[in-house]
């Protein structure tokens, strides 16, 4: 049972469209929205956890001080459910976290949305990429050091 006014977010399995990419947009918050992620050692723990959690590929990402935006895709379908993969990489990052006094690191839940078109992928990426400048923590998006792309996630549409 959930506390009054608190509900878990639904995490639907990705829909496998014939010959269409499965790319999921994810936002993950730090517990109590503490600004723990704006450091090279914290970013390294996250990136290493993503590399070890190889059932999904992380594409473009922006790591903000208190949350992360990223795009990911399953290595194969059907595959490991997104929520199990998220649990794995969060646990891996937490085990290797540089400052044990900051634990727990992550909120229990996360937001995810499967992208439906190449246009939504482009629009979401521009939103994510601009996030540090909109939050006034850097002058322009390209100045933010904690962004990148681990794997190129190509969008493929079915032939019509």
Phi and psi for 121 in degrees, rounded to 5? -65, -50
How many domains in the chain?
A: 1
| Within-domain flag for 82 | yes
| Within-domain flag for 14 | no
| Within-domain flag for 40 | yes
| Within-domain flag for 12 | no
Round to whole Å and give the CA distance between 93 and 155: 28
| Within-domain flag for 15 | no
Domain with 30 in it: 24-149
**What pLDDT score does 2 carry?**
43
Residues 6+ apart with CB under 8 A from 47: 150
pLDDT tens digit string along 136-155? 999 999 999 999 999 999 87
pLDDT tens digit string along 3-52? 445 455 555 555 555 555 789 999 999 999 999 999 999 999 999 999 99
What is the pTM (predicted TM-score) of this model? 0.85
- Burial of residue 72, with CB atoms counted within 10 A of its CB: 0-12 exposed, 13-18 middle, 19 or more buried: buried
Tell me the C-alpha to C-alpha distance, in Å, between residue 104 and each of 33, 69, 83, 100, 107.
11, 19, 18, 9, 8
| Within-domain flag for 91 | yes
List the CATH number of the domain containing 86.
3.30.70.1290
């Amino acid at each position: 049972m959930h506390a009054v006014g608190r509900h878990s977010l639904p995490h639907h399995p990705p829909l496998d469209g014939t010959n269409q990419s499965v790319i999921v947009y994810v936002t993950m918050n730090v517990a109590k929205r503490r600004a723990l992620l704006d450091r090279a050692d914290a970013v390294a723990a996250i990136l290493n956890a993503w590399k070890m959690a190889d059932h999904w590929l992380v594409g473009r990402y922006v790591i903000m001080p208190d949350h992360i935006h990223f795009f990911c895709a399953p290595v194969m379908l059907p595959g490991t459910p997104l929520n199990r993969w998220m649990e794995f990489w969060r646990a891996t990052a937490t085990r290797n976290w540089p400052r044990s006094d900051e634990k727990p690191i992550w909120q229990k839940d996360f937001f995810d949305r499967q992208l439906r078109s190449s246009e939504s992928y482009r629009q979401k990426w521009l939103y994510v990429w601009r996030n540090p400048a909109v939050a006034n923590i850097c002058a322009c998006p390209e100045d933010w050091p904690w962004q990148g792309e681990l794997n190129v996630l190509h969008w493929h549409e079915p032939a019509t």
